[in-house]
Chain A
Amino acid sequence: MSDESRKSYKLEVWVTAICFIIVAITGGFFSSFVVILNERFFDKVPTPEQLVQHYGESMFVAKEGLTVLGFPLHYFLLIMLSWIGVTIVGAIWCIVMDRLEEKQRA
């Protein structure tokens, strides 16, 4: 494999891996971080008193917190990152791959 070819190969693999990790986190399991880090970032401690005791509604009780356009921050981030965020990541990856393809053809 020539140096140029190796560079292109590494660029393809690493750019794809990084983009996938970003998309997986922001669009995929962003919500799991909200659950795990709830106490630290949203001042919510799960206690039995805070839980609604019937099926499907065993959840935290909402408190005032950071909001964007009226939405709780984590909710706003979830819907925007999984939509506009991943679209931008996808577009960037497409541009990189278009250039790489031109190189491969050359």
Chain B
Amino acid sequence: MEPRGEIFVLGLVLSIIVLLISVFISIWARRFTRNLGDYYVAGRSIGALNNGLAMVSLALSLTTFIGLTALILKGVYIAIALYASFTAAFIGLMLLAAPYLRRHKSFTTMAFISERYGSKTLRFISVFIMLIVSVLYLGGNLKGVGIVFFFLLGVPEIVGIVVGGLVVTLYVTLGGMYGVTYNQTFQTIVLIFCLMFPVAVVLKALGAAGWFFPPLGYGNLVPLMNEAVPHFFWPMLVHPIVYIAIFLGSFFGIIGLPHFVMRYFTVRDAREARWSTVICVFLVGLVNTTVYATGFAAMYYMRTQGIDIPEAAYDYMVFILLDALSGQGWLAIAVAGSVAAALSTIAGLLLIMGAGLIHDLYSELKPEVDDEKKLKLSYAAMFVVGVLVILFSLNPPKFILEAIMWSFGIAAAGLGVPIVLGIWWKRTNKYGVGAGMVVGALIGLYGWIMVGYLGMDPVTIPFPIFAKYFYGPLGWIKITAVAVPVSFILTVVVSWLTPPPPLELQKQVDVMHGWQDYDQKRYNGKGLPITVIVLSVLIMWFMTTLYDVFPK
């Protein structure tokens, strides 16, 4: 789309207010930061409500706010299924990892992997994987910042990416984890308000009977939608493996994405970690179902009014819709909400990248450096990382949500699998994890380079056995259904074929589960690894079935 060429004054004013409050909170929270523990994990003092709210804003980035609507316009039901899976994945994260990670007392995901498996090499590998997934995640969000700036100032996306990115980088560098946490709590409240109310106004304008509760308020419009877009509510005729790939990517990806996991290192204890997730998933579900309503409204508006929006502009659809149906005031509120959404997620990502580079990389290479210097270096690292990601994002992805989906897939195979097996199976060792995480992450990364970056058709990429099965709409998602199972299989098989980990490493598993004593038989059976291998093989085999049934 071409820039508006004019400044959206009301939106700009509200966005600046959100930004100023965020900077104020960062400066205020700075007083709590006295050491590295305060800076990275807020002194492990955050309660369930505060952490739950902070997690909501971390989850609801610009990709949700504007990217999901675009994806619904493009993929309809499959996009909704994807986000339904992402919502439920928070409970998966809680069941499989959250409270156990909190008891482990690490600072970061990378530190957990290194300490659980007793390997510095794994720490370096996981830092590398963390940087890849974070850059992909940030790239998508920075494009979103560009879109918001486009609407606010009428400037090209690229200017928004540079200016907006610098502003966010500065504010994260100021406050550390205390600032990020309190800001994310504030931004969640802003975000929910700025999404729910404008969407309600849009639904009312379209004639939805239940407009006052957007998640379920548009049922009376369904018959008209069925006439205009007969396939809106029906699953695409795609191989069901697509939904299984989405499940694997979202459930294990969220465990592997370090900025989500890091939130659990900040809470007071395992109980707070658990309940914060329940609070989070309820609110994330509320917002996501509201965004499904936005997607419905956007499609309904386009098809019933005969308005043609080019596919390349789908990322702008939320603002186009609000501009047309709700008026400038509500549009301004939604833009301010977008700014809040961008700030919170980018802040969390920058913090984990700074922590990874200084705490997990530099500190390992130079252990003699004192905490005060590490703290100063963390500020510098975060700023440098922010600038580097802005430069990387100068070539933004076509659709912001696609970059995020790749990020989830790589994180699932590279970091999610070692975390889950490290918590639930004592026999997992550094050799198995090394093999699984490297090969799994490389498969995901290779897929992204070929399809996401070079733009190749998934069925034409050199990929033994499976390439021909990556057909159909969003067929590239199926690469996750190879990467994650391969990571699981390699981790289990190689762990089994190599010596078991030392006793002190195995003891960590009992401690993570809250046991005061140690018992070799706990979390050490054959049931879990066998089930994991069987399911992994079945998933990959299933992809190769029903080839003639579904359209290519």
A binds B: yes
Mark contacts of A70-90 with chain B using CB atoms, 8 A cut-off: 1 yes-contact digit, 0 otherwise. Answer: 111011001101111011011
Contacts of B519 in A (CB 8 A): 1, 5, 9
Contacts of B234 in A (CB 8 A): 44, 59-62, 72
Using a Cβ–Cβ cut-off of 8 Å, how many residues does chain A contribute to the interface with B? 59
| The one of A9, A56, A93, A104 that contacts B473, using a Cβ cutoff of 8 Å | A56
Name the CB-closest residue of B to A89: B91
Name the CB-closest residue of B to A28: B247
A94/B275 in contact, CB under 8 A: yes
- B:64-113 near A, CB below 8 Å: 74-78, 80-81, 84-85, 87-92, 94-96, 99
B230/A58 in contact, CB under 8 A: no
Once bound together, how far apart are the Cα atoms of A65 and B522, in whole Å? 49
Name the CB-closest residue of A to B87: A82
Once bound together, how far apart are the Cα atoms of A58 and B242, in whole Å? 15
Contacts of A90 in B (CB 8 A): 90-91, 94-95, 277-278, 281
Name the CB-closest residue of A to B517: A5
Mark contacts of A44-74 with chain B using CB atoms, 8 A cut-off: 1 yes-contact digit, 0 otherwise. Answer: 1010000110011111111000010111101
Residues of B within 8 A of A (CB): 74-78, 80-81, 84-85, 87-92, 94-96, 99, 210, 215-216, 218-223, 226, 230-238, 240-244, 246-247, 250-251, 270-271, 274-275, 277-278, 281-282, 285-286, 288-289, 292, 472-473, 513-517, 519, 521-522, 549, 551
Residues of A within 8 A of B (CB): 1, 5, 9, 12, 16, 19-20, 23-24, 26-36, 38, 44, 46, 51-52, 55-62, 67, 69-72, 74-75, 78-79, 81-84, 86-87, 89-91, 93-94, 97-98, 100-101, 104-105
26 contacts between A and B (CB under 8 A): A5-B515, A19-B91, A28-B85, A30-B243, A31-B77, A31-B240, A35-B235, A46-B237, A58-B237, A58-B472, A62-B226, A62-B231, A67-B219, A70-B218, A70-B223, A72-B234, A75-B233, A79-B289, A81-B84, A82-B88, A86-B87, A93-B91, A93-B95, A97-B271, A104-B515, A105-B516
